[in-house]
Amino acid sequence: MSSPTASVGRPRSGARRLPTGSARDEILDAAAELFAERGYAATSTRMIAEMVGVRQASLYYHFKTKEQILAELLESTVRPSVDYASSLPEQGLDPAEALRALVRYDVGVLLGARWNAGILYALPEIATEPFTRFRAERERLRLAYRRLAGGDVPGDLVLGLVESVIGMRRDLATLPPHEELQEAVATAALRLTTL
């Protein structure tokens, strides 16, 4: 009889990527690293499984397709900011303060992720069905920016400014401290709304 804490399946080959994370979390982490560094098309599910130290069949237990992994990663880059934007009315901030708070929060999410998964927003695959929920979540975030910025054009400009930190993460060897960059983007965002 096995103990209730015994693991199921084959042992992993190698150390765990995220000692406190679930197998699903480790798969997402490995995929984010490979997608961001090698590219989505150049990454296979076999590579992801090998990086985690599990068999490919174990990966398919958690995710049926590579598209499902990518969709989950992309949604995780916008979901926290959408949730935060939804909580702003309860904070009693005026629109400019709320916009500043959302920009700072959203930039923090994009900078705080272990891997720069936001770089994958421009993939042509994102226009297909498996990514419908990600596109809907991103549109909700866009609408929050438009509402707080006072119009479609200013809101879209602010969202573009926020997402520019994705390119900065890719292109710059060293980024300014996160707090400094969050404040700089928030200040610039407020200036955009007064043009």
**CA geometry: angle at 182 spanning 146 and 133, to 5°?**
45
Identify the CA nearest to 109 among candidates 76, 86, 135, 132. Answer: 76
pLDDT at 9 over 90: no
Residue-level pLDDT at 4: 45
pLDDT at 7 over 50: no
CATH 1.10.10.60 fits 23-64, yes or no: yes
In the 3-class helix/strand/coil scheme, how is 75-93 assigned residue by residue?
A: HHHHHHHHHHHHHHHHHCC
Helix 45-52 / helix 23-38 crossing angle, nearest 10 deg: 120
Residue 30 to residue 62: CA distance in whole angstroms: 14
- Would you state the structure tokens that stand for residue 77, as one six-digit string? 């880059």
pLDDT at 121 over 50: yes
Tell me the pLDDT tens digit for each residue of 72-109. 999 999 999 999 999 999 999 999 999 999 999 999 99
- CATH number for the domain whose boundaries are 67-192: 1.10.357
Chain-centre distance for alpha carbon 25 = 13
Each domain of the chain, given as residue ranges in start order, spans: 23-64, 67-192
